[in-house]
Structure 1
Amino acid sequence: MKSITINGSQRESVGKKATKALRNAGQVPCVIYGGDKSLHFSAPELAFSKLVYTPNAHTVVIALDNGESYNAVMQDIQFHPVTDRIIHVDFYQIFENKEITMEIPVKTIGSSKGVMNGGNLRMPYRKLRVKAIPSKLPDFIEIDITPLKIGSKFYITELENEDYKFLHPENTVVCQVRRSRLAVVDEEEEGEEEGAEGTEGAAEGSEAPAADAAQE
């Protein structure tokens, strides 16, 4: 996974006055959790642009002016309700041999046959929760939607691998192609549907004589 470096300064004062002064100076107060003790620091608001305003997931290297650096992931971010400026960020320190949980973005490749026939691609999850050691975390989860026909579903179990674990139920549908009013069912899909209906009809027909015999 790609990493972004944020240069900051450790802060000693954490009261309301000191925090307000930092924000007025264009600095964002931050906290790092997960280590031996919590660490308070600040960094320029512009330093967070590549971390916050992007669809991709990143780890962070926090480099302080005292020469210390920490590997972390962003845990929480707060925005001003009116100006939408960043007013506080929480980080969680990560260690190479310790598993962490992150939300990883989902990206699709290919062209779905069902979508080309007028179906609608639905993606309930734009991000998936993944657990792994930092070096095994992917930049994104890739799904090839080419085989998806109208009515097809792509389950999270089809994404299983040895590098990381998904923290979702096995029946989670990551994406699916649903029929729309303008959808056109091709011959192959129609044949599959008719075959399924024929099987059901045969099953219903085989039950009928037994019912008539019971009446006699």
Structure 2
Amino acid sequence: MKSITIKGSERESVGKKATKALRNAGLVPCVIYGGDKPLHFSAEELAFRDLVYTPNAHTVAIELDGGTIVNAVMQDIQFHPVTDKIIHIDFYQLFADKPVTMDIPVRLQGNSPGVRNGGRLLFRKRKLAIKALPDKLPDFFDIDISKLRIGQNIAVASLLSDDFTILHPDSTTVVQVKTARTAVVTDDEDEEDEEGAEAEAEVETTEAEGAQE
């Protein structure tokens, strides 16, 4: 997974007055958990732009005064209810041998024939929560929908991997195509329906002949 570097300054004073002063100066107070003790630091709000205002998932290399670098992932973020400015961020420190939980975005690849025929595409899960070691975190879940027909879906079960654990039931639908009033049936689907009808007719004929005997 790609990493973003954020430069900040470790802060010793963590009281309300000190926190308010940081925000007034355009800085965001942050805390890194997961180590021996919480590590408090602050950084300019613009430094978090590529981390927060993006659909992508990233790990973070937090570079503090003195050259200390802490690898982490964002766990929680708070915005001002009126101005929407970032007012606080919690991070969780990464260790090579400790799994971490993270939301990974889902990307759809290709064009669904079901949608082309008038079906309605429902993107149920745009992100999936997973648990993995830091070096096994994927950037995306890429899902090919080029064979997804009307009435079909793609579930979590098709995305399982030995590299991570998906924290959703296997039956969870990620994307599906539902029937719409304007939907049309393709030639392939016509053939499938005809084959099914012929099979039913054969069964009915056999049952009728058995009854006559």
Taking structure 1 as the reference length, what is the TM-score of the superposition?
0.91
Which is further off, 186-195 or 97-106?
A: 186-195
Give the corresponding residue for 1:182.
182
What's the CA shift for 1:208?
Answer: 9.0
What's the CA shift for 1:103?
Answer: 0.4
How many residues align? The count is 212
Give the corresponding residue for 1:104.
104
CA contact (8 A) 1:104 1:141 kept: yes
Distance in structure 2 (CA, Å) of the matches to 1:132 and 1:16: 36
- Runs of 4+ in structure 1 off by over 6 angstroms are 200-210
The Cα RMSD (Å) is 2.1
Give the corresponding residue for 1:39.
39
Q: For structure 1, which runs of at least 5 residues remain unmatched after alignment?
A: none
Give the corresponding residue for 2:167.
167
Give the corresponding residue for 2:68.
68
What's the CA shift for 1:175?
Answer: 0.6
Give the corresponding residue for 2:115.
115
Which is further off, 191-200 or 155-164?
A: 191-200
What's the CA shift for 1:200?
Answer: 6.2
Deviations 1:60-111 (A, max 9, x none): 0011012211100000000000000000000000101111111000001111
1:65 partner amino acid? D
What's the CA shift for 1:190?
Answer: 2.9
Which is further off, 72-81 or 62-71?
A: 62-71
Taking structure 2 as the reference length, what is the TM-score of the superposition?
0.92
Distance in structure 2 (CA, Å) of the matches to 1:207 and 1:23: 80
CA contact (8 A) 1:150 1:177 kept: yes
1:184 partner amino acid? V
Distance in structure 2 (CA, Å) of the matches to 1:108 and 1:184: 23
Distance in structure 2 (CA, Å) of the matches to 1:58 and 1:12: 27
Are 2:36 and 1:48 equivalent residues in the alignment?
no
Sequence identity (%): 62
Give the corresponding residue for 2:139.
139
Give the corresponding residue for 2:156.
156
